[in-house]
């Protein structure tokens, strides 16, 4: 049995294309969302289903729309109503989709305590990034924002299908949203939100104005990884207020991040 805390808390929020009527989902890594042409090209149909997703108390048309999106990637869906926490203890699923409401906490807790579903990918439905953070201890992996649109829902399913199918080794950078504390050399303190993390650094978003070349110390925690401090340097910054931090290769504390990520990949 793999303990639930091996599961990274991946949050993905995708945005509808510019000019769209509704906002839905922010992108995971950009490279994962690229497709040739205007329409996403699904992979070749699989001869058999390789994963199952539980749709928890989803009403129409959301249930049918998400079923269609997952099916295009060879993933089966099952509508689940009634006795959901108990069923999560006895039935095997690779993922579930549920509303980000207080009542869902009981289901998430049951999932993470289940011997067979502890590594399940949890998709939230509805809510903002701040609302999703309230469930961060359960390791929510991705969020579909409402109202759902087929094109943006497909993008999120495409971006996260490898998580559902447990093909974690394909990730070079891990998408994850968590709060980062930062202190510059001149003792200026501010917070940021991580977007991706790797053994060598991370990309973050903050309203604070920091220039490339700025030396700082970052502090954060990742589920069972206790809070860690590591030196780094800002290597790039974009107009959308995101910037990259490269960890100091001479800072031995960086190895705790590397070991934690590698241990997760091994399992």
Report residue 130: phi and psi, to 5°: -65, -40
pLDDT score recorded for residue 34: 38
What architecture is domain 178-266? Beta Barrel (2.40)
The predicted structure's pLDDT at residue 17: 42
Per-residue model confidence (pLDDT) at position 109: 92
Predicted local confidence at residue 211, as pLDDT: 93
The pLDDT of residue 47:
45
**pLDDT value for 65:** 96
Q: Which residues fall within 8 angstroms of residue 84, CB to CB, at 6 or more apart?
A: 54, 56, 57, 107, 110
How would you label 179-202 residue by residue, b for 16+ Cβ within 10 Å and e otherwise? ebebeeeeeeeeebbbbbbbbebb
- Sign for the CA dihedral angle at 204, 205, 211, 217 comes to negative
pLDDT, tens digit only, all 267 positions of the chain: 444 434 444 434 443 344 444 444 444 444 333 333 444 455 554 445 478 999 999 999 999 999 999 999 989 999 999 899 999 998 999 999 999 999 999 999 999 888 888 878 899 998 766 677 788 778 788 889 888 999 999 999 998 887 787 665 545 677 777 889 999 999 999 999 888 888 899 999 999 989 999 999 999 987 667 899 999 999 999 998 999 999 999 999 998 988 877 765 665
Q: What is the gyration radius of the CA atoms in the chain, in angstroms? A: 19
- Give the rounded distance of the alpha carbon of 46 from its chain centre: 25
Task: Give the list of residues 6+ apart from residue 19 with CB closer than 8 angstroms, or none.
Answer: none
Tell the CATH topology of 4-170.
Answer: Rossmann fold (3.40.50)
Q: Please, how many CA atoms are within 13 Å of residue 149, restricted to the half-sphere of its CB?
A: 14
pLDDT at 223: 67
What are the residue ranges spanned by the domains of the chain?
4-170, 178-266
């Amino acid at each position: 049995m793999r303990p639930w805390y091996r599961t990274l808390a991946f949050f993905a929020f995708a945005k509808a294309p510019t000019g769209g009527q509704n906002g839905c989902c922010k992108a995971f890594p950009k490279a994962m969302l690229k497709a040739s042409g205007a329409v996403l090209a699904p992979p070749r149909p699989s001869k058999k289903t390789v994963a199952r997703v539980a749709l928890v108390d989803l009403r129409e048309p959301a249930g049918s729309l998400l079923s269609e999106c997952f099916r295009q990637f060879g993933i089966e869906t099952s509508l689940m109503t009634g006795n959901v926490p108990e069923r999560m203890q006895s039935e095997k699923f690779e993922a579930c989709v549920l509303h980000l409401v207080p009542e869902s906490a009981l289901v998430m807790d049951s999932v993470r305590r289940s011997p067979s579903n502890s590594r399940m990918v949890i998709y939230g439905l509805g809510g903002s990034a701040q609302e999703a953070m309230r469930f961060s201890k359960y390791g929510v992996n991705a969020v579909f924002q409402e109202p759902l649109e087929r094109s943006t829902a497909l993008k999120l399913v495409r971006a996260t299908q490898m998580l559902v199918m447990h093909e974690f080794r394909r990730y070079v950078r891990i998408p994850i949203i968590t709060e980062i504390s930062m202190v510059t050399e001149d003792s200026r303190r501010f917070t940021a939100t991580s977007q991706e993390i790797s053994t060598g650094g991370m990309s973050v978003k903050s309203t604070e104005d920091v220039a490339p070349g700025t030396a700082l110390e970052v502090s954060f925690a990742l589920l069972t990884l206790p809070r860690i401090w590591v030196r780094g340097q800002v290597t790039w910054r974009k107009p959308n207020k995101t910037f990259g931090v490269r960890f100091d290769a001479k800072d031995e504390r960086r190895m705790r991040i590397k070991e934690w990520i590698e241990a997760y990949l091994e399992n």
